[in-house]
Chains A and B, each alone.
Chain A
Amino acid sequence: MNVSGWFEAVASCSSATTNSRSQALSLHPAASHRENLTSSSFKPPTPRPGHLPNMVVYAVLILNKAGGLIYQRDFNPGLQKLSSNDYLILAGTFHGVHAITSQISPTNETSSSGLEVLESENFVMRCFQTLTGTKFLIFAEPRQQNLDVVVRRVYELYADYVMKNPFYQIEMPIRSEGFDRHLNSYIKPHQ
């Protein structure tokens, strides 16, 4: 086989990739100027606390530390409707996957956080695990960058309207009208 021939093939396919991704990654000095421009124009405005960044949130799920689903709510159409049993299975599966993802760390850090962001063609999911092991999953439209703000606010609402409610039993499904109401007015402020 002609060695120079395949090498050309490899070179051509690789140059195609670098071109398509030059904006984001290129270390070339000529491209760095453009990169700065794009990154600054993409920087989201720092939102005020209690104010939702302009985005569509599909759903919010909360898992307790044992992997049980304690809260599930759809806000905007975008995800398929599942039966409550399917949601429970999904939560359990995700709990396991989250634990495994912290095991497969290729770097040398001893402790690794589990899955934080999951991207697919149609949505992006942010998972936030509190120090106590509760997990918050936020599903939103794809290519959203500042889901951290949302997750933080949801955590805050949880701490306020779930944990401070004397009628809530810890680790059990959340049925709190105040939490529902505040979450709704935060995620869908115009309706």
Chain B
Amino acid sequence: MVVYSFFIFDRHCECIYIRQWLNTASSAAQPLSRPVTASSAATVATSVVEKPTAGSRLSMAEQAKLVFGVIFSLRNMVKKLCGPEDSFLCYRTGHYKLHYYETLSSLRFVMLTDIRTESLKSSLHQIYVNLYVEYVVKNPLSPVEHAGGEGVNNELFELGIDSFVRTID
């Protein structure tokens, strides 16, 4: 399984966390660029030199906007077709698969993987419960709102995401 990128959107529809992994042959996922994060000391050692990803024509911030547009529309479409209690889980194109999980507090977790990956609904739920709640919500120094990703970018959360993605590889 290959994880390409990971996004969190808050209830104001703002992207508060972006993470992209370089698609390497080794199973270890390596952080490539984190536009909204200050790189933490622990991951600096493994991070590769930032280079523009060939082929991906959009910057990560632009991509986040598009991702949000898509999930927002699809979510509304599904709710319209199947009633408000239904939720949209994932979609697949010829090249990638997008997994979606929405909490009751309207936080949205989105993960882009390769197309052979099975449903990641429970994994996204666990990221929410075991990482987001633990290291972001319970962090006394973290603000309530995360404008510009403030508060989500702490070391523990970063490390947690990294090791988590490594285990679901």
Residues of A within 8 A of B (CB): 1, 6-7, 9-11, 13-18, 20-21, 24-25, 79-80, 82, 86, 90, 93-94, 96-97, 100-110, 112-123, 139
Contacts and interface: CB of A to CB of B under 8 A. Distances in A.
- Nearest 9 CB-CB pairs, A to B? A108-B55, A106-B4, A14-B167, A113-B94, A13-B130, A118-B91, A122-B82, A117-B92, A120-B78
Given A17-B167, A21-B118, A106-B4, A116 B86 contact: no
Contacts of A139: 81
A118 B91 CA distance: 4
A90 B23 CA distance: 35
B166 to A, nearest CB: 8
A116 B96 CA distance: 10
B93 A102 contact: yes
A85 B74 CA distance: 18
Interface in B54-81: 54-56, 58, 63, 66-67, 69-70, 73-74, 76-78, 80-81
Contacts of A117: 91-92
Nearest to B163: A10
Interface string B117-157: 11100110010011100110000000000000000000010
A55 to B, nearest CB: 17
Contacts of B73: 93-94, 96-97
B91 A104 contact: no
A107 B96 contact: yes
A100 B56 CA distance: 14
A6 B134 contact: yes
Interface of B: 1, 4-5, 20, 23, 53-56, 58, 63, 66-67, 69-70, 73-74, 76-78, 80-83, 85-96, 98, 112, 117-119, 122-123, 126, 129-131, 134-135, 156, 160, 163-164, 167-168
A17 B96 contact: no
Contact of B67 (A18, A102, A104, A121): A104
Contacts of A114: 93
B86 to A, nearest CB: 5
Contacts of B156: 1, 6
B74 A109 contact: no
Given A18-B167, A96-B73, A122-B82, A115 B91 contact: yes
A9 B130 contact: yes
A97 B73 CA distance: 7
Contacts of A122: 82, 86
A67 B8 CA distance: 30
Contacts of A20: 122
Nearest to A16: B126
A97 B130 contact: no
A103 B58 contact: yes
A1 B1 CA distance: 32
A121 B126 contact: no
Contacts of A101: 70, 91, 93, 98
Contact of B77 (A13, A90, A113): A90
Given A6-B134, A113-B94, A114-B93, A104 B122 contact: no
Contact of A104 (B1, B66, B83): B66
A135 to B, nearest CB: 13
Task: Identify the interface centre among A9, A20, A105, A117: most chain B CB within 10 Å of its CB.
Answer: A105
